[in-house]
Amino acid sequence: MKANLLWIVIVFMSLVNCGESDLVPEQEPIPDIVPEDEIITIPVVIHVVNFSPDPFDISDDKILSQIDVLNEDYRKKNSDWLKTPQEFKNLVADVGIEFVLADVDPQGNPTMGIIRTSSDVTGFDGIRFDQSVPIENLALYFTSKGGQDAWPNDQYLNIWIADLSDRNGELSLAGYANLPGADARIDGVVIDPRAFGINSSSEAAYSLGRTATHEIGHWLNLRHIYGKDGSCEDGEDGDLVEDTPVQQSQNLGNPVHPIFSCGNASMFMNFMDRVDDKSMYMFTIGQRNRMRNLFNKGGLRRELYERLYDAP
């Protein structure tokens, strides 16, 4: 009897000891809903796929200037938001998302977050003109085909910089985005070098780095602020954001407020319209919520958030 009791005591003590010597700190639970005041910082990898027949120039500094623009526009630190018309001013949001060039690659090695290759692949080789085209045929996203493989989309935002010239060598498309829920091999945005970063010498319409602000808005689940096919409905044909007024069609160039459509003034200065860079300068609170919802439990970018949360 006594021996048995002793054994029980020893076993009990060793269990207690085991608990006490456990030095791993208790994991804080990842919140289901991203806290309102939390800044989400997204690691970015820049895949420069240069066009060897007619190479473009894009310096590390210019790439860094783009990261700076994103961190202003998504944090309401761009001073031009103050130009927002009075009637929309109280809607302007600090989205609370920041971007940083990745410093660790998917294999755990140090990186500067900018990978450069050169081939005859262009930005058009990343567009799926027809859904029957297999993803493997989109050369831009495959190193083996002259493009660059995406890094895992639960750890990084992939940005491909690639040529989008028309036959005359003119910029024909500034950029495009593959949306949340896209195949991980193509998840990210594609931007022409002339529309990337601060371009003092480039075409004025794309000189302030707002193409990336807009395209990453799509990557974060935003739709255009204007209705599909000229619709004034804010349902499936609209942007599904309550505080952006319905707008029938896109605005281009540099409009002057107020521009009316669908019976109200248009919010053409929103990053999700199509005006020139210098004429767009705000996201709304509703857009902020729609973007951040992606990272809540059940959201399409929840895994990315969980990976960020676990990172040291």
36 is catalytic: no
Number of residues that bind Ca ion (CB under 5 A): 4
* 273 lies in the site for Ca ion, by CB under 5 A: no
Give the residue nearest to Ca ion (CB).
Answer: 244
CA dist 288 and 292 (Å) reads 6
Smallest gap from residue 29 Cβ to Ca ion (A): 34
Which residues inside 74-103 make contact with Ca ion, applying CB under 5 A? none
Among 234, 237, 303, 306, binds Ca ion (CB under 5 A): 234
Smallest gap from residue 150 Cβ to Ca ion (A): 31
Smallest gap from residue 274 Cβ to Ca ion (A): 16
Q: Are strands 40-51 and 114-119 parallel, antiparallel or unpaired?
A: parallel
3-state secondary structure 208-229: ECHHHHHHHHHHCCCCCCCCHH
Query: Which range of residues in 52-60, 183-191, 197-205, 240-248 is near Ca ion by CB under 5 A?
Result: 240-248
61 versus 229: smaller Cβ distance to Ca ion? 229
Q: Residue 221 in contact with residue 290, Cβ under 8 Å?
A: yes
Omega within 30 of 0 (cis) for the link into 258? yes
Residues contacting 266, CB < 8 A, separation 6+:
225, 226, 245, 247, 251, 255, 258, 259, 260, 273
Place of tokens 């958030």: 305
Smallest gap from residue 238 Cβ to Ca ion (A): 5
Smallest gap from residue 295 Cβ to Ca ion (A): 21
Phi, psi dihedral angles at 265 (to 5 degrees): -70, 140
155 versus 244: smaller Cβ distance to Ca ion? 244
Among 73, 163, 239, 276, binds Ca ion (CB under 5 A): 239
96 versus 238: smaller Cβ distance to Ca ion? 238
Exposure string (b/e) for 248-276, b if CB count within 10 Å is 16 or more? ebebeeeeebeeebbeebbbbbbbbbbbb
Which residues inside 241-260 make contact with Ca ion, applying CB under 5 A? 241, 244
CA dist 67 and 47 (Å) reads 14
102 versus 241: smaller Cβ distance to Ca ion? 241
Catalytic residue among 36, 72, 136, 215: 215
105 versus 237: smaller Cβ distance to Ca ion? 237
Q: Which residues are catalytic?
A: 215
Binding site for Ca ion (CB under 5 A): 234, 239, 241, 244
